Structure 1
Amino acid sequence: MKTPPRLQKDDFEALSEFRYQLRRFIRFSEDAAQSEGLTPLQYLLMLHIKGFPGRDWASISELAERLQSQHHGVVALVTRCEKAGLVTRTQDDKDKRLVQVRLTETGEQYLHRLAQLHRNELHSLSSVFQVSHISAFNDRD
């Protein structure tokens, strides 16, 4: 097994810059959600429902994985979002153990406004996340 090359100053600078820009984006996201009267987790829940591959709903387990949270915590979050009129949950017709979580029209409206803001912010950060900015991580020969 080949020993990885020793990290150089530019590796630490690239890591630092990446983490800084990532944290700036997360802070932007938190502030944007709160400006709409939502918590950052409510926004993320709605994003993961809408963004779930191949369908317009997600299960509690799938959302727990996407949010990197405990199942019971996601159940509580879904309950709060349901009370706020952002999501609905229904039992699956075939598998009664499966709960499908879907966005409501109100949830869709919030999500679209916030996602547009996030897309604009990502475009402004695009140069930071270019491959050339993290080239310091490539193995040195």
Structure 2
Amino acid sequence: MQPDTMDDGQVAEPLTKADFEALASFRFGIRRYLRFSEQAVRGHGLTPQQYQLLLALKGFPGREWATLTELADRLQLRHHSVVELVNRAQAQELVRRAPHPTDARAVRVELTPHAERTMAQLGALHRDELRRVRTVLTLPDWGEPAGGEL
């Protein structure tokens, strides 16, 4: 059996049983957190996709709004999918569109006061849950790989 090689031609170090256990434990922690999140946001009348949109806006670096293109990047969605998501969120009065301050071709998307209140509540719930699952969501420590890249 040939050893696995990475894209750069280096030979990948084989994983041990303990490595697979660490991967499985981390994946379990992620899924448990996501299930909590899905239930929490639905309990506040949002879909998980709407919560991700609102979180991307509330957590956007350096400002309280983002463009559709920036949201598409943050959410890892296609532009037209973000437009539809924003349209539905706007119909529910969760977001509003406003003129971009410097680019007439772009539109900025921002949270409404209702969404701000909802995000304050959901943010606190998510923070508390992350504190509870901290040990399960700790990345396994495998040291530095050859070449110093993760």
TM-score, normalised by the number of residues in structure 1: 0.91
- Note the aligned Cα RMSD (angstroms): 1.7
Say whether residues 1:11 and 2:19 are aligned partners: yes
Find 2:37's aligned residue among 16, 29, 40: 29
Find the counterpart in structure 1 of residue 28 from structure 2.
Answer: 20
Shift of residue 2, structure 1, vs aligned partner: 4.8
Counting aligned pairs with the same residue, the percent is 45
SS at match of 2:110: strand
Say whether residues 1:51 and 2:59 are aligned partners: yes
Find the counterpart in structure 1 of residue 98 from structure 2.
Answer: 90
Structure in which a larger fraction of residues adopt helix: 1
Say whether residues 1:127 and 2:135 are aligned partners: yes
Gaps of 5+ in 1: none
Find the counterpart in structure 2 of residue 71 from structure 1.
Answer: 79
TM-score, normalised by the number of residues in structure 2: 0.86
Distance 2:61 2:136 in 1: 27
Distance 1:97 1:47 in 2: 24
Deviations 1:70-104 (A, max 9, x none): 10010011011111111111121431111100001
Distance 1:140 1:7 in 2: 13
SS at match of 1:77: helix
Gaps of 5+ in 2: 1-8
Say whether residues 1:99 and 2:104 are aligned partners: no
Give the conservation status (yes or no) of the 8 Å contact 1:5–1:139. no
Distance 1:2 1:86 in 2: 49
Say whether residues 1:110 and 2:115 are aligned partners: no
Shift of residue 138, structure 1, vs aligned partner: 3.0
